[in-house]
Structure 1
């Protein structure tokens, strides 16, 4: 009888383990138009291509793309708590700041917003990948240098994974951009996926 009682108490716990292990883990992407596949089918964007690779190489993970075209770091900061609650992510990818720079927003404001987003993600128990941006030199040497340093400083402060410049693999190839010279073409998206992957993949283990 003692053995039967022991088995009766153990069986519910044993039965729960497969369900727990089957729970999909989540990558949440908080980005702007560069991650929202601007003027492209969503399936052709680097985020969707990354999800395809994750499904092949890291089964059990899913990707929630909460990127919004035109988003600033202030917008991301205002949305992240809601997105964290909704997606319950294990990994958060933050690709924001380009629109701050193009609008000439204060550097301190951008840094504070990025800092707040990373803090919120880590506070929710997620690992973080921060993806940086750069600006063309016509924005002025001091501003462009400070803009680039914002991302590096936040990544260093929080000791998170970091890609300094999303567009680095295509930045010298005019044909890799759409007519606006800002957004990558469909053909360029795999290069962005491959550029981000070495920093993202270790966070999926």
Structure 2
């Protein structure tokens, strides 16, 4: 493994580049998800008691899970690719870059969810059951509902969706770090890992001096 040279970009700039790039990737993922995620088709029905009831057609309710799984899957692809690419940025290998990677993936998930939900809402609108044009003469009104970005509305479900890609990215980076034999991961500044060639365990006082020695008297 060749010795790395001093990086042109400082550590702080590298962190900003990583986080900014991942957030931009999250925005693109959210926009692509809004195009690919399947909407949910349903109906608003006026029953015999005069109540408005919303129901889903067939197995359309499954699209809520499908759309959320699609977003998580796309974010996982970004997390894995980002971890592999950042490992190639050899001079900045280390815990600082891992923290930037994890934080950037979490922010990317937030950006993807926000952009995706916003675009889907603009595309399909919101279902207003109270304003649905149903009457005793026309009791059924077909509606299309925007897909969901989260598996549920509880804080834990939202938090898992945001942190899961960050955890996967950190895991991939850790696996690549384990595969290298150097303690400094080959980054900058390099560490001298030369060891005294000896077949036994000893201390520095046991090592023989290296170089020309004066003749014994």
Task: Give the structure with higher Rg (CA).
Answer: 2
Which fold has the larger relative contact order, with Cα–Cα distance below 8 Å and residues 6 or more apart in sequence? 2
TM beyond 0.5: no
Which structure shows the higher helix fraction? 1
TM-score normalised per structure 1: 0.28
| TM-score normalized with structure 2 length | 0.27
